[in-house]
Chains A and B, each alone.
Chain A
Amino acid sequence: MTKKSLATAALTLLALVGMSMSAMAETVVKIGNVEPLSGPSASVGQQGKNAREMAVEEINAAGGIKSLGGAKLELIYADSKSDPNVGVTETERLINTDKVNIVTGCWNSGVTYPATAVAERYGVPFVVPVSVRDTITERGFKYVFRIAAKDSWWTRDQFTFLKDMKDEFGTELKTVAFVYENGDWGTGFAAQWKTLAEEAGYEIVLDEPYPSAATDLTPVVTKIRRAKPDVLLLTSNAADAVLITNTLADYKVSPKVILGSGGGHADPTFISGTSDNSKFMFDIVEWETDVNKPGAKETNDKYKAKYGSNLTGEAVDAYVAMYVIADALERAGSLEPAKIRDALATTDLKTGPAAIVAYDSIKFDATGQNENAALAIVQINDLGQGLERITVWPKTSRRADYTPVFPMPQK
C-alpha cells in the first residue's frame, strides 16, 4: 500500500466518520406514548403528557443523548381513549408506521396489559410509568419495564400502614369496610384487601362495589354509615372520589381511618372539589411534593408554574420515565432495540432529576419491575396554608415536625 493510497484511505475514513457524526447529530429518538387523552380518564392522560413534555424539554436542552451524538428525544402521542382495542391498534401503529424506538404508557391497566404484549411481540422496549395490575410484569416478558409499584404492593403497604399506625398511636382498629369502583382496578384491589384483612384479623363489615359512573352515591354512604367500620378503604376514580367524600361528610360518617388508593383521590382537583370534607383523610401515593429529595420542590414549582397544578405521583412517574429512558439510551449508545432493552435491564438510576422519586434507586428485577418502587401515605391537612397533602408514612419519610391526626376526629 502506497503512502498516497494510505492517505486517501485515512481521508475517506475521516470523511466517513465525519459524515456519520453529522448524521448522528441529527438523530432523533422517537418515544411513542399511548395515553388516555380523551374519554373518562382524559384528566390523568393530560397530566402524564405535561410531565413527559417537561422532562423531554429539559433533556433536550441539556444536550440530548450524548452517546448518540446529542440525539434529541421526540415525543409522539397516541390516544387510547381508555379502550384496550384502540390501545393495541395505536401501539402497533407507533411501532410500525412511526417507527418509534421506545413506547411508554398507558395508565389504564386494561390498556397496558394488551399493549405491552404487542411491544413484546415486535421486540420494542416498553416503559410503563404507572399501571398497577400485577400481571403486567408477570408474563416473562423481556421488553417491558415498570417504574411504579404493582397493586399487590399498594394493598400490602396500605395494611402495613394501618398496623404501624395502630402500634404508634395505640388505636384499636377492628372492623374494615371496602368500597371500590366496579372496574378492573377496584375489583383487583378489593380481592387482595380481602386476603390481607383476613390475615391481619380484621372483621370485614362491608364489601361494596359501586358503578363508577354512578349519579348518586348516597345509598353507598348510608350503607357505610350503618356498618360503622373503624377503617374505610376506598378505590375511586375522579368524579366518584369527590362525590363519595362529600356525601360521607354530609351524612357525618366518620370512621377512624379513611384511606384512599390514589387515582381519583390523588387527582389535583380532588382537594378543590371536596375542600374541608377531605381534611384528615389518608391516601396512598408513589410520590408527594413534600418528599425529602433534592430537587423535588424545584421540579414541582416549575411544573406548577407551567401547567397550573402540583405534580401527582402518576405525573412524577411519567417524568422520571423519560429520564430512565435517556439514561438507558446514553448507556446503550445505539438505537438497536435489543441494546436499549439490555441497557434498561441494567438500569440503576440514583442521581439526576430522576432522583426526585421517593425510591432509593430505579432498578429493574428480572421481570422488569422496579424493585425499589416504594409507596408513601399522605394525610390531607391544613397547616395554615390551605389544604395540602402531607407525607406521614413510612415514618422515615414523614414530614419533619408533623404529627398525624390519628384517628381521624369524630364528627
Chain B
Amino acid sequence: MTPQSFKKTGLALLVLTALALPLILRSPTYLHILIMLYLYAYMTTTWNLVGGFAGVLPLGHSVFVGIGAYTSTVLWLQWGISPWIGMLVGGCLAGFVAYLIGKPTLKMRGAYFALATMAFVEGVRVIVENVDQLGPFKLNGPRGLNIPPLPAGEGSLLAFQFATKEPYYYIILFMLMGVVYLTWRLSRSKLGYSLSAGGEEPEAAEALGVNVAKCKVTAMVLSAFLTALAGTFLAQMTLFIYPKSVLTLDLSFELAFIALIGGRGSLAGPIIGALMLRPVTEFSRIYLSATLPGMHLILLGVILIVVMLYQPRGLSEPLTRLFNRLQDRICSTKTGGAK
C-alpha cells in the first residue's frame, strides 16, 4: 500500500463512517450533538479561511452567523421565501458587509484587527437590540424572531424544517465536506499561496508582487459568505433567534478556540478542534454543572491554557506526526520494509 492510497482509504473510511452513523446511532440526542459538532467544525473551517490562512485573528465572526440567520428568517417570516434562497441572500449580504469591514481593518496588525472585529459584532448587536424594525424588515429587537414550527411530525424541504434529526445531519455533513474540499482546493490555488505567504511575511510577499491586502479581503468575503450559510442552518435548527444568541462574542470566541486548539491554518485543524472541544463542553456541562456550577467553563479554560502552553500550534501538528508514523509503519510492512 502506498502512502497515497493509504490516505485515500483512510479518508474514504472516514466519509463512509460519517454517512452511516445515523443508521447506527438512533438517539436524537447524540445525533444533535453530532450535528452541532459538524456545525462548529463547518463554521471554524470557514473562520480558518481568514483566521488561519490570512494570519489575523478575527473575533467577530458571529456577525456573519447573525446576518445569515436573520436574513433567511426575515425573508421566510415576512414574504414566505424559502430559507434555501434566504440562505444565499444572507451569504451575499454577509460577503458585502465583510468587504466593507475587511477593506480598512485587514490592513491592521494582530491585536487591532481582533479588537476591531469584536467591536463590530458588539456594535451590530446593540443596534439590532435597539430597533424593532429596520426599513421594511421586522427584527423585533431583543425579543428576537420565532419561526413557527410545522405541525408535529411534519417536515418540508422547502421550509427547511424536518420532523427528525437525520435530514439536518446530512445537510450539515454535506456542507462540511463541501467547505473542507473548497478549502483544500483553495490552499493549492494561487490565492491560497499568496494568502499564506502574506500571512507569514507580508513585506516579502508584497515585494514578490502579491497584492496581500486584496487577497485577504477576498478571503474574508468568501469566509463571510460561507459562515452566513451556517447562520441559516442554525436558525432552522433552533427555530428561534435573538441578538444574544447569534450575535455574541461567546460564539465568535468559541470558533477561535476550536481553530487554535485544533491548529490554525491546517485543513484538519477545525475538525480536530471541534472533535476535541465540543464533546468536552457538552459533556462537562451535562454532568458537572448541576453539582459544580461553572466547572465546565473552568475545564474549558484549563484546556485552552494547557494546549496553548504545550502545543501553541494546536493539536493537528502532533496528530499529523502520529498519523505519519502509523502510515509509515503500515505502508512499510505491506511493501516489505522498503523505503
Partner of A79, one of B32, B238, B293: B293
Please state if A187 and B293 are interface contacts (CB–CB under 8 Å): no
At the interface, yes or no: B36 with Cβ under 8 Å from chain A? yes
Task: For A69, list chain B residues within 8 Å (CB).
Answer: none
Give the CA-CA distance A244 to B80 in the complex, in Å: 43
Partner of A92, one of B32, B149, B293, B297: B32
Which secondary structure characterizes the binding site on chain A?
Answer: helix
At the interface, yes or no: A298 with Cβ under 8 Å from chain B? no
Please state if B27 and A110 are interface contacts (CB–CB under 8 Å): no
Give the CA-CA distance A96 to B286 in the complex, in Å: 14
Task: For A90, list chain B residues within 8 Å (CB).
Answer: 286
Please state if B149 and A37 are interface contacts (CB–CB under 8 Å): no
Give the CA-CA distance A78 to B290 in the complex, in Å: 7
Partner of A37, one of B29, B126, B289: B289
- What is the number of residues of chain A that contact chain B, defined by CB distance less than 8 Å? 34
A85-B245, A114-B238, A117-B149 in contact; A42/B29 too (CB < 8 A)? no
Task: For B286, list chain A residues within 8 Å (CB).
Answer: 78, 90, 93
User: How many residues of B sit at the interface, in one of the four size bands?
Assistant: 20 to 34
A85-B238, A93-B29 in contact; A120/B152 too (CB < 8 A)? yes
Please state if A88 and B289 are interface contacts (CB–CB under 8 Å): no
Q: Mark B258-302, 1 if CB is under 8 A from A, else 0.
A: 000000000000000000000000100110011001101100000
Give the CA-CA distance A97 to B27 in the complex, in Å: 7
Task: For B143, list chain A residues within 8 Å (CB).
Answer: 184, 187-188
Give the CA-CA distance A232 to B240 in the complex, in Å: 33
At the interface, yes or no: B146 with Cβ under 8 Å from chain A? yes
At the interface, yes or no: B141 with Cβ under 8 Å from chain A? yes
In the complex, how many angstroms separate the beta carbon of A288 from the nearest chain B beta carbon? 27
Task: For B27, list chain A residues within 8 Å (CB).
Answer: 96-97
At the interface, yes or no: B47 with Cβ under 8 Å from chain A? no
At the interface, yes or no: B233 with Cβ under 8 Å from chain A? no
At the interface, yes or no: B123 with Cβ under 8 Å from chain A? no
At the interface, yes or no: B166 with Cβ under 8 Å from chain A? no
Please state if A46 and B146 are interface contacts (CB–CB under 8 Å): no
Please state if B290 and A114 are interface contacts (CB–CB under 8 Å): no
A97-B29, A121-B149 in contact; A37/B238 too (CB < 8 A)? no
In the complex, how many angstroms separate the beta carbon of A212 from the nearest chain B beta carbon? 10
Task: For A188, list chain B residues within 8 Å (CB).
Answer: 143
Please state if A84 and B289 are interface contacts (CB–CB under 8 Å): no
Task: For B149, list chain A residues within 8 Å (CB).
Answer: 117, 121
At the interface, yes or no: B142 with Cβ under 8 Å from chain A? yes
Task: For B290, list chain A residues within 8 Å (CB).
Answer: 37, 49, 76-79
Interface residues of B in 23-82 (CB under 8 A from A): 27-30, 32-33, 36
Show 15 A/B contacts (Cβ-Cβ < 8 Å), sorted by A: A37-B293, A46-B293, A78-B289, A81-B285, A84-B245, A85-B234, A90-B286, A93-B286, A97-B29, A114-B146, A117-B239, A182-B129, A184-B144, A209-B130, A211-B126
- On A, residues with C-beta under 8 Å from B are 37-38, 42, 46, 49, 76-79, 81, 83-86, 88-90, 92-93, 96-97, 110, 113-114, 117, 120-121, 182-184, 187-188, 209, 211
